[in-house]
Amino acid sequence: DAGVIQSPRHEVTEMGQEVTLRCKPISGHNSLFWYRQTMMRGLELLIYFNNNVPIDDSGMPEDRFSAKMPNASFSTLKIQPSEPRDSAVYFCASSLSTGGANTQYFGPGTRLTVL
């Protein structure tokens, strides 16, 4: 099992540029989550999808952030335009939501630096 795959692993960009982060969930999982981790704010939920449908995007900080899940095996998180305060590690996680379990498997993360 390949686990959750994220790309790129590291991204350095300049303020004002568009950034696209990519995630491939574990095959067969039907829930996908985007989190952001910073020293100041810890791990924060940004948005999540169940069966490719966005359920809760209340954690998305601003309209500059958008996320899509066009199919069960791919999701993107886009920041346009990027700002230095967006610098963080962005994690994607997936789960198979059957019964009462909510075991979420995290990817290795994308470390984003906005200069």
Partner 1 sequence: QQQVKQSPQSLIVQKGGIPIINCAYENTAFDYFPWYQQFPGKGPALLIAIRPDVSEKKEGRFTISFNKSAKQFSLHIMDSQPGDSATYFCAASRGRMYSGGGADGLTFGKGTHLIIQP
Binding site for partner 1 (CB under 8 A): 4, 30-31, 33, 35, 42-45, 48, 50-51, 53, 55-56, 59, 91, 93, 95, 97, 100, 102-109
Three-state SS at 43: strand
Task: Rank residues 14 and 56 by Cβ distance to partner 1 and give the closer one.
Answer: 56
The least distance separating partner 1 from the CB of residue 42, rounded to whole angstroms, comes to 5
Quote the CA–CA distance of 84 and 115 in Å, as a whole number: 6
The least distance separating partner 1 from the CB of residue 81, rounded to whole angstroms, comes to 26
Residue with tokens 């200069």: 115
The least distance separating partner 1 from the CB of residue 102, rounded to whole angstroms, comes to 5
Quote the CA–CA distance of 75 and 111 in Å, as a whole number: 17
Which residues fall within 8 angstroms of residue 39, CB to CB, at 6 or more apart?
none
